[in-house]
Amino acid sequence: MRKRVALAAFAALAQGMGAIAFAQQTAPQPPAFVASNLTETGVRSMAANCAPCHGTAGKPAPGATVPGLAGRGDLGAVMKAFKEGNREATVMHQIAKGYSDAEIAALAGYFAKQPR
């Protein structure tokens, strides 16, 4: 999607302004993400993003059908399988790709310690 927009801009630029303007235009910079915060509070904050689908601190609401994350020991391996495309998913294969291996390990460690 963004690539398409960038390409369109590239084409417009090359046509409209010529080679000089093009040479001055650099490709969009990759994001300059700040280093991940793997302190206790940093990981807790990152883990809070899982709650809308998996419940506060990984404990699903009564009646919810999605797997809980709290008290599990296999989450690191499961997330890695999603990330590498080795496990079927509707959405988790897309989400797992947003996290580094170190973040996945830290999240897995956090949820392993949460009460079921």
Partner 1 sequence: MTMQRRDFLKAGAAGLAIGVPGCATMRSSAPKSRVAVVGGGYGGATAARYIRLLDPSIEVVLIEPSEAFVSCPLSNMVLGGFKTMADITMPYAGLARHGVRVVRDSATAIDMEKRQVRLARGDPVAFDRVIVSPGVDFMWEALPAMGGAEAQASVLHAWKAGPQTAALRRQLEAMPDGGVYVLAIPEAPYRCPPGPYERACQVAAYFKARKPRSKVLLLDANADVTSKGPLFKKAWNELYKDMIEYRPNSKAVDVDVRARAVKLEFGDVKGDVLNVLPPMKAGDIAAPFITVNRRWCEVDWTTYEAKAMKGVHILGDSLLPAPLMPKSATMANGHGKVCAAAIVALANNEAPNPSPTLLNTCYSMVSGKLAIHVSSVHKYDERERTMKTVPGAGGVSAAMNEAEGAYTMNWAANIWADALS
**Residues near partner 1 (CB under 8 A):** 2, 29-37, 41-42, 44-46, 48-56, 60-66, 90-91, 94-99
CA 27 to chain centre: 23
Measured from the CB of residue 16, what is the shortest distance to partner 1 in angstroms?
A: 21
Q: Which is nearer to partner 1, 9 or 21 (CB)?
A: 9
CB nearer partner 1, residue 19 or residue 27 = 27
Comparing CB distances to partner 1, the nearer of 17 and 64 is: 64
Closest contact distance (angstroms) between CB of 17 and partner 1 is 24
The residue with tokens 């809070």 is 48
At closest approach, how far in Å is the CB of 23 from partner 1? 23
Containing H/E element for 112?
helix 101-112
User: How many angstroms separate the most distant Cα atoms in the chain?
Assistant: 63
Distance CA 74, CA 107 (A): 11
C-beta of residue 55 within 8 angstroms of C-beta of residue 61: yes
The helix/strand/coil state of 17 is helix
Q: How far is the CB of 3 from partner 1 (least distance, A)?
A: 10
Q: Which is nearer to partner 1, 18 or 67 (CB)?
A: 67
